[in-house]
Structure 1
Amino acid sequence: MAPASFKRLGLTGSIGAGKSTLARLLRERGFTVLDADAQARLATQEPQTLHAIETLFPGVVVGGQLDRPALSARVFGFPAELAKLNAVVHPRVRARMAELEAAAAQAGARTVVQDVPLLFEGGSRALFDAVLLIDAPLEVRLSRVMGRDGLSREAVLARDAAQMPAEQKRRLADAVIENGGDEVDLAVQLEVVLRKLGLHP
């Protein structure tokens, strides 16, 4: 059981906004940061999860391994199909994150950060004491993801369209960090936000 002073911070942002960089800066400051994407990758290696996904999307599990590009082609751009996949994966990820968070609280962490790309879309806002959004201009985000993942502009736009619009996320977040500049600027903004929210590792 976490102490009453324990805080849970949600970190989110659209694709290419810079969540990974901000998560690293938080870790460097001593915060425990849990990565929902990493837990999703682990969850989708579990036989039960793979069976559930293969039942919904026949042919995307090959030799006991998830064919991620094939699955992406089946769900991105198809909201109903993406919702089916999320219904399988999201509860498993939340359970994993809750276990890791409990362990961190037991070890004495005062704040745990959960890096959750689809925080608002997944309906988990109520789980957090505060939500920090990182954002960047669309063209900056597209350029980052195309360079990082080798995806076409159209493929990145399809992934972006599957997420809640950035303006809507801004209205729902407790604090917003702008990531159109360099890492020094990012660090300065982060310090201001941590003071504003009263968060400590």
Structure 2
Amino acid sequence: MSSPPSSSPQRLGLTGSIGAGKSTVAALLRARGLTVLDADEAAREVTRDPAVLAEIGAAFPGAVQGGVLDRAALAEVAFTDPARLAVLNAITHPRVRQRMLTLEQAAAARGEAWVVQDVPLLFEGGLEAQMDAVLVVDAPLDVRVARVVARSGLTEEDVLARDSRQMPAAEKRRRATFVLDNSGDREGLERQVDAALAGLGIHSPQQEKSPSTR
């Protein structure tokens, strides 16, 4: 049953530790007709704003070169110092939240009952309370590390350091409405996604058009 077009959609949070496969699940949800609001993409849009770049450049000298954000340089400074990260978050987070809200309102205007909020640091950012349900994607640490090393060129030590700065995967699993175990094949993951959506009573447009399709 769909919510009235004038109401706000319910929010399905999507998160997971580094290398767990959150982007894969986001793609599966999109393929099922759900609107996925990507916090990382919203942050990229925000940091293309000249006013935001000016603030970041003033707070982090050398992080903006020729009007373009040097993400690697910024990460090297901000993500190794909690105090500096707090400064960056104070600049970007309010704008990212506003961008996500604007996209959510557009989904509401289309009459969508649910939207997915894809937020890597959902729990760490204290956004859990704003979600109606949360999907956590997980896989064993060695699998996650191997995936990130293979795709990014980071060393195992780099990946482990980044993972250590996130909430432990076990705690994310404890807080989840549904846990998606992405240690197996894609077909198994798809079955888990469909089961989670069914458990939440979420019916994609494709399912509504083709109820006999499984």
TM bucket, shorter chain: over 0.9
Provide the C-alpha distance between the structure 2 equivalents of 1:3 and 1:179, rounded to a whole number of angstroms.
Answer: 36
Whether 2:11 is the aligned partner of 1:8: answer yes
| Contact map agreement 1:14 1:135 (CA 8 A) in 2 | yes
The Cα of 1:80 is off from its aligned counterpart by: 2.2
Counterpart selection for 1:64 from 33, 42, 67: 67
* Larger CA Rg, structure 1 vs 2: 2
Equivalent residue runs for 1:1-201 within 5 Å: 3-4=6-7, 6-201=9-204
Provide the C-alpha distance between the structure 1 equivalents of 2:107 and 2:188, rounded to a whole number of angstroms.
Answer: 29
**Total equivalences in the alignment:** 201
Provide the C-alpha distance between the structure 2 equivalents of 1:180 and 1:148, rounded to a whole number of angstroms.
Answer: 17
Deviates more, 1:155-164 or 1:108-117: 155-164
% identity of equivalent residues: 58
Aligned partner of 1:144: which letter? R
Provide the C-alpha distance between the structure 1 equivalents of 2:135 and 2:66, rounded to a whole number of angstroms.
Answer: 39
TM-score under structure 1 length normalisation = 0.94
Provide the C-alpha distance between the structure 2 equivalents of 1:48 and 1:188, rounded to a whole number of angstroms.
Answer: 44
Structure 1: runs of 5 or more not aligned: none
TM-score under structure 2 length normalisation = 0.89
Q: 1:59 to 1:5 in 2, by over 3 A?
A: closer
Provide the C-alpha distance between the structure 2 equivalents of 1:80 and 1:5, rounded to a whole number of angstroms.
Answer: 35
Structure 2: runs of 5 or more not aligned: 205-214
| Contact map agreement 1:77 1:162 (CA 8 A) in 2 | no
| Contact map agreement 1:27 1:33 (CA 8 A) in 2 | yes
The Cα of 1:87 is off from its aligned counterpart by: 2.1
How large is the RMSD of aligned CA atoms in angstroms? Answer: 1.6
Deviates more, 1:43-52 or 1:77-86: 77-86
Post-superposition CA distance 1:27-70 (Å, at most 9, x none): 11111111111111111111121122122211110001111111
Provide the C-alpha distance between the structure 1 equivalents of 2:5 and 2:100, rounded to a whole number of angstroms.
Answer: 14
SS at 2:111's partner residue? coil
Deviates more, 1:1-10 or 1:134-143: 1-10
